[in-house]
């Protein structure tokens, strides 16, 4: 079915290119001493927000398909909304609904997972991010799966925990581990053997994305599957020991194995079932490949157990990763990319490895590949494999180099890019590094604006969620920054700046309203001279 875009009456579109710049993790918040965006020297961004029309966009909660407005936005759902022009029920909400309705436990995959364990008298393993951050996973989903496994007569369960400290407090691991151990103790009896078997920080093992660092996944495989690594009597002991020795936050804690009588308590073996309970796709794909792909060659698995492996969702709808999953992901259709390519518009997308999938896969509705090989160009700048606080400028200059070349070529009518600095460096909790990252980004904005003027282009400069705007936990009473670093996203809105020095008077930016990220796609279509499809959320401009 063709995605037809009708031309606007009275406005043929901008003469040059339309560019969407996503300043990942850059929200709008008070300048209260904890805002690295406001504290940074950013003359270009300051000029843009003072001189050009700027709207604030909702980028969290129900505005991006999450269960409630207490849920922070994230890059996955943010780019889904930016690229589709619509709001779809997203991972956390889908999983919660499926659990509450019982649909998950009636699924063929859950039945396969359970029957495999019961038929073989084997072990059911749960592996995933261990927090209630609700960005990649939620501990309540894990608990529900465990309770149901016991009800269905499974006798042995092992849990492999990836410690967060990124979407939740940076040193909050024991706030989850200790109550969870009590939860397990209440469930445990002579016929139900359950225990934590292994773990480690999410930025050390297992949860790599976009194939940036397969060594992380290999470390996770050795820890969870092979039971290799430093042994402790409990997760609590491991966390306390590593903190005392290394002084690192939760996301950077090294891997650990729980052992009893000198032997790991939960290796993964032939006949077992494994459920990866993360619902978000980007950091779930690589470990899923390691379990699912017989011909896997990214690292030596040493031992490849024959298991039934299932993800919480299908993490890649085109490549069908993994082959088994518990909850169907949102079916995102009628995206901006589909419509533009069907209209013959040449498009360009660029970021570095850390966010490349966001301007391609997530932007296109969780679909790999291109809609049209001839009309679309995707560029990935390889990310450095170093701690982000040590190189906070990341690859923003290299992204800009390639983007400027594409703009000057005159080949592309619509371009989009993502600068990861504010998010990836913001997640480290380092205020100084994040401030530096914003200053590096601002330099690149200045370069881009100059070229846009040269080629007669316009830009929508926005973000997918907040992060760098709130680098310290806020005191609940005073709402002022505390001394505790904040590594998670924020609930703050994000800017949407309309940079246009060419088309004065041909359209107007609407007044501030209840806009979200999903309003960007229709705005882009209008700027290109097309009516927006009816299913998209409204444009933020009005053509005269």
Q: What is the rounded distance in angstroms from the CA atom of residue 62 to the CA atom of residue 370? A: 29
75 catalytic, yes or no?
Answer: yes
Strand 54-57 versus strand 494-499 pairing type: antiparallel
Q: What is the rounded distance in angstroms from the CA atom of residue 465 to the CA atom of residue 453? A: 28
Angle subtended at Cα 443 by Cα 438 and Cα 446, rounded to the nearest 5 degrees = 125
Q: What is the rounded distance in angstroms from the CA atom of residue 91 to the CA atom of residue 80? A: 12
Q: What is the rounded distance in angstroms from the CA atom of residue 185 to the CA atom of residue 174? A: 16
| Coil vs helix vs strand at 380 | strand
Q: What is the rounded distance in angstroms from the CA atom of residue 378 to the CA atom of residue 347? A: 9
Residue where the block lists tokens 């993490």:
315
Q: What is the rounded distance in angstroms from the CA atom of residue 143 to the CA atom of residue 147? A: 6
Q: What is the rounded distance in angstroms from the CA atom of residue 259 to the CA atom of residue 226? A: 12
Catalytic hit among 75, 96, 351, 430: 75
Residue where the block lists tokens 């889904």:
80
Evaluate whether 200 touches 187 at the Cβ level (below 8 Å). no
The DSSP bridge partners found for residue 273 are 124, 308
CA distances from 376 to 16, 360, 372, 519 (A): 17, 10, 6, 23
Catalytic positions = 75
């Amino acid at each position: 079915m063709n995605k037809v875009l009708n031309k606007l009456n009275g406005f043929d579109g901008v003469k040059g290119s339309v560019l969407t710049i996503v300043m990942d993790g850059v929200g709008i918040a008070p300048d209260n001493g904890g805002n690295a965006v406001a504290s940074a020297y950013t003359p270009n961004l300051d000029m843009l927000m003072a001189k050009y029309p700027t709207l604030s966009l909702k980028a969290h909660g129900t505005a991006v398909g999450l269960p409630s407005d207490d849920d922070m936005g994230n890059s996955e759902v943010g780019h889904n909304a930016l690229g589709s022009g619509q709001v779809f029920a997203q991972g956390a909400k889908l999983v919660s609904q499926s659990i509450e309705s019982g649909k998950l436990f009636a699924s063929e995959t859950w039945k396969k997972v359970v029957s495999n364990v019961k038929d073989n008298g084997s072990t059911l393993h749960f592996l995933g991010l261990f927090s209630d951050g609700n960005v990649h996973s939620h501990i309540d989903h894990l608990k529900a799966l465990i309770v149901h496994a016991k009800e269905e007569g499974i006798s042995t369960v092992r849990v492999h925990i990836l410690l967060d400290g990124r979407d939740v407090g940076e040193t909050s691991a024991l706030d989850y581990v200790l109550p969870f151990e009590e939860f397990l103790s209440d469930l445990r009896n002579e016929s139900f053997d359950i225990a934590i078997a292994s773990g480690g920080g999410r930025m050390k093992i297992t949860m790599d994305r976009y194939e940036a660092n397969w060594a992380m996944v290999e470390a996770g495989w050795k820890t969870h599957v092979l039971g290799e690594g430093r042994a402790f009597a409990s997760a609590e002991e491991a966390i306390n020991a590593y903190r005392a020795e290394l002084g690192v936050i939760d996301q950077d804690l090294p891997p650990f194995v729980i052992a009893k009588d000198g032997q790991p308590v939960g290796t993964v073996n032939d006949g077992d079932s494994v459920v990866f309970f993360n619902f978000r796709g980007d950091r779930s794909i690589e470990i899923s490949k390691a379990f699912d792909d017989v011909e896997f060659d990214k690292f030596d698995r040493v031992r490849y157990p024959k298991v039934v492996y299932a993800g919480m969702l299908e993490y890649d709808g085109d490549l069908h990763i993994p082959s088994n999953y518990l909850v169907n992901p949102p079916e995102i259709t009628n995206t901006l990319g589909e419509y533009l390519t069907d209209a013959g518009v040449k498009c360009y997308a660029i970021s570095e490895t850390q966010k490349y999938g966001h301007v391609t896969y997530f932007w296109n509705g969780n679909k790999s590949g291109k809609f049209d090989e001839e009309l679309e160009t995707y560029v990935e700048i390889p990310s450095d494999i170093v701690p982000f606080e040590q190189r906070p400028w990341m690859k923003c200059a290299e992204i800009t180099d390639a983007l400027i070349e594409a703009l000057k070529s005159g080949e592309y009518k619509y371009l989009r890019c993502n600068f990861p600095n504010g998010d990836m460096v913001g997640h480290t909790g380092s205020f100084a590094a994040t401030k530096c990252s914003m200053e590096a980004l601002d330099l690149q904005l200045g370069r881009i604006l100059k070229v846009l003027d040269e080629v007669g282009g316009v830009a929508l400069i926005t973000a997918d969620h907040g992060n760098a705007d709130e680098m310290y936990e806020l005191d609940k009473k005073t709402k002022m920054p505390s001394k505790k670093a904040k590594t998670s996203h924020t609930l703050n809105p994000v800017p949407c700046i309309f940079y246009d020095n060419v088309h004065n008077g041909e359209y107007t930016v609407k007044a501030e309203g209840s806009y979200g990220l999903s309003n960007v796609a229709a705005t882009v279509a209008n700027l290109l001279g097309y009516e927006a499809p009816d299913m998209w959320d409204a444009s933020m401009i009005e053509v005269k």
